[in-house]
């Protein structure tokens, strides 16, 4: 029998009412109570907030953390523990928590800190994320100038997400169309996984160094390297903020290690769809 991987969904997958169907599971209820004690109102925002509210980074990241981890707990009860895990962007924090690297409390405090830093960043740098489809990654890379536009998420053979400054959005979309591709703006509040986030990533690393990090109970594949976490966990997690998400390479590495079943934990089926399309 093939190995199983849990995929923790990232920013952009958030929907109103997510995790409402599993909120009464014992481990989930305990998690939500903990989150409420640290950030009062967060569970209500997740269960009852509007799409527009949930799209704000300050809410998106902690609510996605809670939803991802809640679904992972329920899936583990149903299927047993996976052989490895991977989180997409913000999903890497609940993945590390699920694997035992961070306690629930430390992981939630970390995601709140990350959200605060990135929310402030969206005020400092105005931008968006644009999914480019129908073009191979190398063609998308050639369309990016490394200044106003950067490849940010390598999602598949014909899908790459680009971090784009607000001032360059129309020009970049036109370049994509001229090249035969299609550009779709994602429902996030800024441009992420690009060099502009380096100051916030440095601040996040300082915060992470104050937390206890344990050896994982299973392999956790890092967005930064497309390999299992090893060495300096704090630096790897922090640098992820200002570096591309190498999801395509990660899936390939998992498959090379015998993973045959990918189970998405979180709202929706975005990641399993990317795995199937390759």
Annotated active-site residue 89? The verdict is yes
DSSP readout, 44-56?
A: HHHHH--HHHHTS
**Which helix (DSSP H) or strand (DSSP E) does residue 59 occupy?**
helix 57-79
Q: Considering 150, 167, 189, 193, which one is annotated as catalytic?
A: 193
Judge whether 248 and 157 are in contact, CB under 8 Å. Answer: yes
Annotated active-site residue 150? The verdict is no
Cα separation, 112 vs 65, whole angstroms: 9
Q: Considering 89, 150, 189, 243, which one is annotated as catalytic?
A: 89
Q: Which three-class secondary structure string do you get for 70-128?
A: HHHHHHHHHHCCCCEEEECHHHHHHHHHHCCCCCHHHHHHHHHHHHHHHHHHHHHCCEE
Helices 26-38 and 57-79: crossing angle in degrees, nearest 10, is: 160
The catalytic residues are 89, 193
């Amino acid at each position: 029998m093939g190995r199983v991987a849990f995929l923790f969904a990232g920013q952009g997958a958030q929907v109103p009412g997510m995790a409402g169907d599993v909120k009464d599971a014992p481990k989930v209820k305990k998690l939500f109570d903990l989150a409420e004690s640290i950030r009062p109102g967060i569970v209500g925002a997740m269960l009852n907030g509007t799409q527009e509210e949930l799209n704000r980074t300050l809410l998106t990241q902690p609510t996605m953390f809670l939803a991802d981890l809640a679904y992972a707990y329920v899936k583990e009860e149903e299927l047993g523990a996976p052989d490895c895990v991977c989180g997409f962007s913000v999903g890497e924090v609940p993945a590390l928590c699920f694997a035992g690297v961070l306690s629930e409390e430390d992981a939630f405090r970390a995601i709140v800190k990350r959200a605060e830093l990135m929310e402030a960043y969206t005020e400092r740098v105005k931008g968006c994320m644009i999914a480019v489809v129908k073009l191979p990654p190398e063609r998308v890379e050639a369309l990016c100038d490394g200044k106003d536009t950067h490849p940010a998420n390598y999602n598949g053979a014909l899908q790459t997400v680009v971090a784009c400054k607000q001032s360059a959005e129309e020009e970049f979309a036109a370049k994509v169309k001229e090249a035969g591709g299609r550009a779709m703006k994602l429902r996030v509040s800024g441009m992420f996984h690009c060099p502009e986030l380096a100051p916030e990533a440095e601040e996040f690393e300082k915060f992470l160094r104050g937390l206890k990090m344990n050896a994982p109970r299973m392999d956790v594949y890092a967005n930064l390297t497309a390999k299992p976490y090893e060495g300096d966990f704090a630096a790897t997690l922090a640098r992820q903020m200002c570096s591309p998400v190498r999801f395509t390479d990660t899936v390939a590495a998992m498959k090379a290690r015998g993973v045959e079943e990918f189970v998405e934990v979180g709202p929706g089926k975005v990641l399993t769809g990317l795995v199937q399309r390759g």
